[in-house]
Amino acid sequence: MKALTEMQMREAMVRLLGESSVLSGAAVRRAYDCDAYTVDRSAPSVVVLPRSTAEVQKVVRWCLEQSVPFTARGAGTGLSGGSMPALGGVVISSKRLTQILEVDEGNRRLRAQAGVVNSHISQAVAHFGLHFAPDPSSQTVATLGGNIAENSGGPHTLKYGVTAPHILGLTLVLPDGEIMEFGGGAPGRPGPDPMSLLIGSEGLLGVVTEAWVKLTPLPESVQTALVAFPTIRATSETVSAIIASGVIPAALEMMDKHILVAVKAAFGLEYPEGTEAMLLVECDGDPESALHEIQRVEELCRERGALMVRVAQNEDERKKLWTARKKGIGAMGRLAPSIVTHDGVIPPSRLPEMLDYVYAVANELGVGVANLFHAGDGNLHPCFYFDDRDPAQVEAVVAAGEKIMRRCVELGGSLTGEHGIGVEKMDMMKLMFSEADLRAQAAIKAVFNDGSLCNPCKVLPDQKGCVEHMRRWRGVAT
């Protein structure tokens, strides 16, 4: 079949969805050639903005007929290149799938289109005393569809879990253009659950257009503490001690001094002189248990030499502490033009040695690194700051990331806790999985997607037709 030109694709999409739902041109190609992972880039031919499941289906069916690749995209906050259109083609943006379709307070659930922003869900049901628990740091812009695709985590994952347990049902346009609905009723069905495969599938198994989400009661009481430590090791050992004590905080976050410098400049966060790292700890539940838990945490911190323990006295103070944490990555823009945030997981007890290793690698390769991460579940986020216009720096950052991921796997951890594999870690999958494991992964993909058009060249390494393209993506940030 003869390849279609960009103009032909645009005309076809305009016929399907109308002029106002199609974007194209040089500026659009540039804007949609990557997500928040900027090392690899590949531009789409056109971007479409469907408003319904039926419109998504029309686009997918057309792509299938014309053998044009298609890639779903939410807010573009992904950090592994999952929504980069690896082979070009059509980007299906959820920017206009923004309807909250049904609030079912009685059943503590809500049905929304995939483009609804994460935090808007909680805002919509706050007056019922409910919220949507998954809270990735990008939650003020990240979309529900993106959260489902990546099985997003966030600071409160430690107690409330990642996105998967909060999704009760979803509507999906399969790669063959069929519409399927899964779940939606009472949770916990005893048989195998296809949603286990779909959530976190990084857009490879179809395009999620709607979902039923679980609404969780807001905690009666929340206690939040900011704790300063004189050494990284004391901080990480305190994390291990808190987890080992049996206390499960709602959140247990760690920020090192490089982050603190940026956060102080951006948000005026104060901390004692000599601070090398800080913990942000939150305990919630009924007032008595939340208070008891935060007191226990305070004891453990002081036993390990904390320089300061500051418990937020009211909601305003608490919000300020969280702003510093959640906007920490953004504040790092003050340190360098580009940031790559890595994402690896280790068993929490290995945190002290792993952090030593991260700093040693950064030092060895001459790149700047700051750490801001979900310490409680061992989910590291070393943030490398660099200038992506310098190929040598890009190379060093990629190399540092690979070393760190290799060590995570060696320590019994995972390549990714919440950012996904995308294109970033496709080749690293072999560190964690054998050839046989990867064949089994490919078989799962084939259950839903036995073609090669739906978000191609992601997650699974060595896919036919992708290796050559990978060389094209890498290092084209300039």
Q: Distance between CA atoms of 62 and 45, rounded to whole angstroms? A: 14
The answer to whether residue 128 forms part of the interface with another protein (CB under 8 A) is no
In the bound state with another protein, the residue whose beta carbon lies nearer, of 31 and 291, is 291
Q: Distance between CA atoms of 346 and 351, rounded to whole angstroms? A: 7
The answer to whether residue 387 forms part of the interface with another protein (CB under 8 A) is no
Q: Distance between CA atoms of 254 and 232, rounded to whole angstroms? A: 10
In the bound state with another protein, the residue whose beta carbon lies nearer, of 232 and 432, is 432
Map the footprint of another protein across residues 393-412, applying CB under 8 A. Answer: 412
Three-state secondary-structure class, residue 148? helix
Q: Distance between CA atoms of 14 and 7, rounded to whole angstroms? A: 10
Q: Distance between CA atoms of 296 and 170, rounded to whole angstroms? A: 40
The answer to whether residue 201 forms part of the interface with another protein (CB under 8 A) is yes
Considering the complex, what minimum distance in angstroms separates the CB of residue 205 from another protein?
8
The answer to whether residue 161 forms part of the interface with another protein (CB under 8 A) is yes
Considering the complex, what minimum distance in angstroms separates the CB of residue 452 from another protein?
16
Q: Among the candidate windows 18-26, 148-156, 262-270, 309-317, which touches another protein by CB under 8 A?
A: 148-156
Considering the complex, what minimum distance in angstroms separates the CB of residue 100 from another protein?
19
- Nearest one of 87, 20, 15, 76 to 49, comparing CA atoms: 20
Contact string 325-354 vs another protein (x = CB under 8 A) = --------------------xxxxx-----
In the bound state with another protein, the residue whose beta carbon lies nearer, of 47 and 242, is 242
In the bound state with another protein, the residue whose beta carbon lies nearer, of 205 and 262, is 205
Q: Among the candidate windows 4-12, 117-125, 361-369, 375-383, which touches another protein by CB under 8 A?
A: 375-383
Q: Distance between CA atoms of 383 and 375, rounded to whole angstroms? A: 14
Map the footprint of another protein across residues 239-298, applying CB under 8 A. Answer: 240, 243-244, 246, 248
In the bound state with another protein, the residue whose beta carbon lies nearer, of 96 and 108, is 108
- Nearest one of 232, 239, 227, 222 to 286, comparing CA atoms: 222
Contact string 220-249 vs another protein (x = CB under 8 A) = --------------------x--xx-x-x-
- Nearest one of 134, 119, 87, 126 to 105, comparing CA atoms: 126
For helices 315-326 and 257-267, angle between their N-to-C axes, nearest 10 degrees? 120
Considering the complex, what minimum distance in angstroms separates the CB of residue 322 from another protein?
20
Map the footprint of another protein across residues 83-112, applying CB under 8 A. Answer: 104, 106-108
Considering the complex, what minimum distance in angstroms separates the CB of residue 443 from another protein?
4
In the bound state with another protein, the residue whose beta carbon lies nearer, of 263 and 415, is 415
CA 119, 178, 459 angle in degrees (round to 5)? 60
Considering the complex, what minimum distance in angstroms separates the CB of residue 348 from another protein?
6
Considering the complex, what minimum distance in angstroms separates the CB of residue 289 from another protein?
11
The answer to whether the CB of 196 falls within 8 A of the CB of 163 is no
Q: Is 195 left (phi over 0), alpha (psi -120 to 50) or beta?
A: alpha
Q: Distance between CA atoms of 251 and 107, rounded to whole angstroms? A: 27
Token pair belonging to 330: 């953004």
Considering the complex, what minimum distance in angstroms separates the CB of residue 42 from another protein?
22
Token pair belonging to 147: 């959260």
Q: Distance between CA atoms of 402 and 408, rounded to whole angstroms? A: 10
Considering the complex, what minimum distance in angstroms separates the CB of residue 378 from another protein?
6
Considering the complex, what minimum distance in angstroms separates the CB of residue 10 from another protein?
34
Q: Distance between CA atoms of 299 and 128, rounded to whole angstroms? A: 35
Alpha carbon 291 to chain centroid distance? Answer: 31
Three-state secondary-structure class, residue 119? helix
How many beta carbons lie within 10 A of that of residue 181, not counting itself?
12
The answer to whether residue 33 forms part of the interface with another protein (CB under 8 A) is no
In the bound state with another protein, the residue whose beta carbon lies nearer, of 326 and 458, is 458
Map the footprint of another protein across residues 168-197, applying CB under 8 A. Answer: 180-182, 184-194, 196-197
> Which of 200, 285, 328, 456 forms a contact with another protein (CB under 8 A)?
200
Output phi, psi for 182, to 5 deg: -120, 145
Considering the complex, what minimum distance in angstroms separates the CB of residue 109 from another protein?
8
The answer to whether residue 451 forms part of the interface with another protein (CB under 8 A) is no
Size of the chain in residues: 478
The answer to whether residue 459 forms part of the interface with another protein (CB under 8 A) is yes
Three-state secondary-structure class, residue 74? coil
The answer to whether residue 429 forms part of the interface with another protein (CB under 8 A) is yes
The bridge status of strand 70-73 relative to strand 22-23 is unpaired
In the bound state with another protein, the residue whose beta carbon lies nearer, of 359 and 433, is 433
The answer to whether residue 445 forms part of the interface with another protein (CB under 8 A) is yes
